[in-house]
Amino acid sequence: MRRANHDKVTPVQLIACSNCGEPSVPHRACPSCGHYKGRPVTKVATKNATAKKEA
Ligand SMILES: [Zn+2]
């Protein structure tokens, strides 16, 4: 009895955001704070003005 092997869905791994601690997908910007690798990479509604990019 063969069974298709491509219908497995791998569960999404979640890591804790290093900035806010919310669970987020690895190698993606945090959906909560928009940070990735310690800096903001996406715009999320925050009150902070746009920070300077790495000086
Ligand atoms: Zn975060």
At residue 37's C-alpha, the angle toward residues 34 and 40, to 5°, is: 35
Q: Report how far ligand 1's centroid is from the alpha carbon of 48 (Å).
A: 15
Q: Report how far ligand 1's centroid is from the alpha carbon of 34 (Å).
A: 6
Element (H, E) at 1: none
- Tell me the pLDDT band of 4, cut-offs 50, 70 and 90: confident
In Å, the largest CA–CA distance within the chain is: 61
Q: Which two tokens stand for residue 44?
A: 């999320």
Q: Which two tokens stand for residue 8?
A: 């497995």
Which residue in the block uniquely carries the two structure tokens 């497995």?
8
Q: pTM above the 0.85 mark?
A: no
CA distance linking residue 35 with residue 17, whole number of Å: 8
6-49 confidence digits (pLDDT tens): 778 888 888 898 889 999 888 888 888 888 877 788 886 656 55
Q: Report how far ligand 1's centroid is from the alpha carbon of 3 (Å).
A: 40
